[in-house]
Amino acid sequence: MLASTVYDDGATTPGDAFIAPKVEAEIVFRLGSPLKGPGVTVAEARRAVAEVMAGLEIVDSRIEDWRIRLADTIADLASNGAVVLGPPVVLPEDCDVRLIGMAFSRNGELVATGAGAAALGDPAAVVAWLANVLGEHGVTLEAGQLIMTGALHAAVAMRPGDRFVAEFDRLGTVTLHVGDA
């Protein structure tokens, strides 16, 4: 993700800035210490997390009708268009992020629900997986980096004028307004 595509909670994104946008609610981690695989465990990944945020990822595709394959996704910056982040939260050590529930609405209508366990069974497992895969190539996840852990529901189409709200247990609410085209 690029710094120019990171928005604060309540932001309005341009309605015509994307090609075929969809929105996903996600749990986002900010690392407090570096992680380098291979061999990073889920427990080590949990300990490396300093802050947790409610997030809305705008996924976008340059591939017609979203008929993408893995190579297309990689070439298309993992379909990342932008991200909206809620305020950072420091969770107690005994908080099980797998159980963080989420309700997602578009224009006031509930369109999806989810829980942290939808992300590889445990959002911290996503961090461990990423550290291990990148570590095989000599790359370290650094303190301060943000890690999107994956959608907690199927992506929802985004249109100009939409308002998206994701309400997370323990993490609070994050809101995205889409400007008119």
**Torsion from C-alpha of 39, 51, 154, 60, nearest 10 degrees:** -90
- At residue 9, φ and ψ (nearest 5 deg) are -50, 135
Taking alpha carbons only, the member of 174, 156, 157 closest to residue 165 is 174
Question: pLDDT tens for residues 22-79?
Answer: 999 999 999 999 999 999 999 999 999 999 999 999 988 665 665 665 555 544 444 5
Alpha-carbon distance values, 143 to 31, 109, 131 (Å): 5, 37, 12
pTM: 0.89
